[in-house]
Amino acid sequence: MPQPLFVIEDLHVSVEGKEILKGVNLTVERGQLHALMGPNGSGKSTLAHTLMGNPHFQVTQGRVLLKGEDILSLPPDERARRGMFLAFQYPVEIPGVKVRHFLRMAVKASKGEEPSVTDFRRQLFEKMALLEMDRSFSERYVNEGFSGGEKKRNEILQLAMLQPEMAVLDEADSGLDIDALRAVANGINKLAGPQMGMLLITHYQRILNYVEPHFVHVLFDGRIVRSGGMELAQELEAKGYDWIAGEAAV
Amino acid sequence: MKQTAKGFSRQTVEELSSLCDEPAWLRQRRLEAWRVYEATPMPTLQDEDWRRTDISALALDQLLPFAEAPCAQVDSIAHLPQDLRPLLDVGQPEGGLLVQHDSQVVHLSLAEEAARQGVIFTSLQGAVREQPDLVQRYFMTRCLSPEHGKFAALHGALWSGGAFVYVPQGVEVALPLRVCQWLARPGLAVFPHTLIVLEEGSKLTFIAEQFSPELDGQALSCAATEVYLQAGAQLRHISVQQLGQQVYNLGAQRHLLEEDSRLDSLIIGLGGKLTKLFVESVLEGAGANAQMRGVVFGGDDQHFDHQTLQEHIAPDCTSDLLFKVAVKDRAMSVHLGIVRVHRGGRGTDAGQTVRNLILSQGAKAHPILPLEIEASDIRRCSHAATVGQVDENQLFYLMSRGLSRQDAERLIVDGFFEPVLETIPQLSVQHRLRQAVGEKLGLATP
Ligand SMILES: Nc1ncnc2c1ncn2[C@@H]1O[C@H](COP(=O)(O)OP(=O)(O)OP(=O)(O)O)[C@@H](O)[C@H]1O
Ligand SMILES: [Mg+2]
């Protein structure tokens, strides 16, 4: 059997001495889209940041395997070069750095070679069109003064330009109006392919009307307490997270 | 080659005056400045203005106060020394260019259109001969007098080289005038003086750049710039300092703003061993507006001390200062930023912000921003200083896109300066500065 693309094994994570993740297990194969749902504060972003290597979060136990290799000891840039990607729930402003320049640096860093100017431009404009972004956007400073929706689109634009193997999208849908949501979902659908694994973190079932996951998981209090298919998302939508809370307490 | 003896004395001053074949009034001014110099004690760490800047290692008596340029004045920049030419941006559209090599002006050009408009752009020494009345009236009188301080006085006694710019009433100079000063001789002290007068309603962009190669031995740049902005005049003034790391840079720049005039000044400090630079805007006409910005990037053991003054004398004036400072290695930056509002400065709107980015553990920044307010009914007077390291969230974000920590840091520092650099009207200057910043970043030691 071929090796799974991405495996999280019994992952425990603490922040400032407080345990947030209490043993998370999850396997994502190439071509699969997994949705991870959960209430506020359940640890979704903690998981996302830990997978990407944010030094603020301490792994106290467990492994994370990308193409069979444990990546937990690697710095974020090395993880990115090996094919990891994180779309941030709260994208960070980089004042004075233009989107175009930043993307060029990122493409160069992750691919290991400088893209030709014309190829890069062509690709950039193509992907921007896919996400219904105006070209002038590439001349703006990264995330500075962006609306919530623009920030999210910019995250997906980066996903499109970097074409990672394993993408974690942390609430790519929150705060989007219906048009932006459709553009982002459309982008995700176009980018997801047989080679890529995706973990789509979301609060709401809303985006799942546009992007159909193969699996749905529910994170609650630092553990995945339920896994299933689309029907689980619908059940959650109907009954709310209290339902999970009630079950978990039993 | 003509030169004076080492060290400074009254005799040096007289010698220099004779060497330049000056009129009596100018000789008298030099001697008067020398008197002030002698009467003023050498600044020490005990002086408020010099508390964090130690110049005791500067061996003034070992310096040569004047040396003729190694080449004669040339009409074509093609005849200037090889190392100098790349800095002159050959082929860029320019309203005028003045090049100084060591103590002397070696090249001067002015676009025909500007000349036709009556713009005067010449060496200050040339102006002494051709425009004696103007020079006599404006040179180190009301704007920057020798009493300004020890080194202003020394400058008044020993100045040589520099430029004179005069823009007549209502004239808008389309393209920037540029002055390029090249200090190439170790052991030399240069004293270039820039005098700019903008008559009522005139408009100018002026770019001054100081360079030197890495020198094998101490040198001193003691430059002074005085600017008169008459009513409604507008000046964009860009000063770039890329001296070698053996050069002491003790300078002053002072702008007098009459009513409704507007100044946009930008100070860029990258080079030098030690810099103490006074940057002063005096708002003496109602409704004047001074925007003062700065970019400072120190590395190795460089020391920068910028002392800025926003002096509000007249009512309803605006001034805003923004300095962006980055320091790495063991570099240190001091910023003493004073906002002074006189009793007559009602309706003053003044702000100052100094942002410091610390890139290495051994680097330091000291922003000190006192407000001295005598007026009672001002509109705004605010000051803010920040000192911090590169933001960890920004680093993580960039690294998550594959950038190494070092590249991420470089990008953040580039971005810190970029919004200021990209406002520079001459693209070639922008480009050179980005390169200089990049080179400095490249040499980072953790
Ligand atoms: N940097 C931090 N410092 C301290 N506590 C933190 C930090 N980051 C997260 N936490 C805590 O960890 C817990 C999980 O937070 P996390 O952001 O992972 O939740 P989430 O599921 O992403 O929530 P949301 O749906 O609101 O985005 C919360 O209790 C939060 O307060
Ligand atoms: Mg979250």
User: A43 CB less than 6 Å from ligand 1?
Assistant: yes
What pairs with residue B239 in β-bridges? B208, B267
| pLDDT at residue A169, as a whole number | 97
Residue where a domain terminates, one of B391, B406, B431: B391
Interchain pair B411, A105: CB under 8 A: yes
Q: Within this chain, do residues B114 and B249 fall inside the same structural domain, yes or no?
A: yes
The pLDDT tens digits for B264-276 are 999 999 999 999 9
For the ranges B15-19, B23-27, B288-292, the lowest mean pLDDT is seen at B15-19
- Classify residue B2: in a domain, yes or no: no
The pLDDT tens digits for A18-64 are 999 999 999 999 999 999 999 999 999 999 999 999 999 999 999 99
Q: Ligand 2 center to residue B260 CA distance, Å?
A: 52
Q: What share of chain B is helix, strand, coil (3-state, %, to 5)?
A: 25, 35, 35
Residue where a domain terminates, one of B346, B362, B391: B391
Structure tokens at B297: 């990037």
Q: Within this chain, do residues B397 and B387 fall inside the same structural domain, yes or no?
A: no
User: A22 CB less than 6 Å from ligand 1?
Assistant: no
The pLDDT tens digits for B329-362 are 999 999 999 999 999 999 999 999 999 999 999 9
Residues of B in contact with A109 (CB under 8 A): 401-404, 407
Residues of A in contact with B398 (CB under 8 A): 94, 102
Q: How confident is the model at residue B105 (pLDDT cuts 50, 70, 90)?
A: very high
d(CA B21, CA B18): 5
Q: How close is the nearest chain A Cα to the Cα of B407, in Å?
A: 9
Nearest ligand by distance to the CA of A17 = 1
Residue A106 contacts B, CB cutoff 8 Å: yes
CATH number of A6-249: 3.40.50.300
Best of A52, A82, A97 to substitute, by most chain B Cβ atoms within 10 angstroms, is: A97
| pLDDT at residue A238, as a whole number | 86
Q: How confident is the model at residue B3 (pLDDT cuts 50, 70, 90)?
A: low
Nearest ligand by distance to the CA of A13 = 1
Q: Within this chain, do residues B378 and B406 fall inside the same structural domain, yes or no?
A: no
d(CA A197, CA A64): 14
Q: Name A56's Cβ contacts closer than 8 Å, sequence gap at least 6.
A: A15, A49, B392, B396
- Structure letter (DSSP) for residue A46: H
The pLDDT tens digits for B376-412 are 899 999 999 999 999 999 999 999 999 999 999 999 9
Residue of A nearest to B401 (CA): A106
Q: Within this chain, do residues B286 and B415 fall inside the same structural domain, yes or no?
A: no
Say whether pLDDT at B446 is over 70: no
Q: Within this chain, do residues B434 and B315 fall inside the same structural domain, yes or no?
A: no
A146 near A180, Cβ under 8 Å? Answer: no
Q: Ligand 1 center to residue A233 CA distance, Å?
A: 22
- Classify residue B251: in a domain, yes or no: yes
Q: Within this chain, do residues B85 and B71 fall inside the same structural domain, yes or no?
A: yes
Q: Within this chain, do residues B404 and B379 fall inside the same structural domain, yes or no?
A: no
Q: Within this chain, do residues B23 and B93 fall inside the same structural domain, yes or no?
A: yes
Interchain pair A96, B418: CB under 8 A: yes
User: A56 CB less than 6 Å from ligand 1?
Assistant: yes
B331 near B274, Cβ under 8 Å? Answer: no
Residue B282 domain boundaries: 10-391
Interchain pair B415, A95: CB under 8 A: yes
- Classify residue B236: in a domain, yes or no: yes
Q: Within this chain, do residues B382 and B424 fall inside the same structural domain, yes or no?
A: no
- Classify residue B160: in a domain, yes or no: yes
For residue A47, give the ligand 1 atom closest to its CA: 18
User: A20 CB less than 6 Å from ligand 1?
Assistant: yes
Q: How many CA atoms lie within 13 A of A212 on its CB side?
A: 2
pTM for the whole structure: 0.90
Q: Within this chain, do residues B278 and B398 fall inside the same structural domain, yes or no?
A: no
Please give the single-letter amino acid code of residue A154: N
Averaged pLDDT for residues B365-380: 94
| pLDDT at residue B445, as a whole number | 40
What pairs with residue B196 in β-bridges? B165, B227
Q: Within this chain, do residues B248 and B258 fall inside the same structural domain, yes or no?
A: yes
Say whether pLDDT at B170 is over 80: yes
Structure tokens at B85: 């030419």
Query: For chain B, how many structural domains are there in total?
Result: 2
Best of B324, B386, B401 to substitute, by most chain A Cβ atoms within 10 angstroms, is: B401
Low-confidence ranges of chain A (pLDDT < 70): 1, 248-250
d(CA B244, CA B188): 13
What pairs with residue B320 in β-bridges? B291, B351
Domain boundaries, chain A: 6-249
Burial B370-396 (b: 16+ CB within 10 A, else e): eeebebeebeebebebebeebeeebbb
ipTM attached to this prediction: 0.96
For residue A203, give the ligand 1 atom closest to its CA: 25
Say whether pLDDT at B47 is over 80: yes
Q: How close is the nearest chain B Cα to the Cα of A92, in Å?
A: 6
Q: Within this chain, do residues B64 and B196 fall inside the same structural domain, yes or no?
A: yes
- Classify residue B4: in a domain, yes or no: no
Lookup result for tokens 């994180």? A86
Residues of A in contact with B438 (CB under 8 A): none
Best of A54, A92, A162 to substitute, by most chain B Cβ atoms within 10 angstroms, is: A92
Lookup result for tokens 């290597």? A53
User: A226 CB less than 6 Å from ligand 1?
Assistant: no
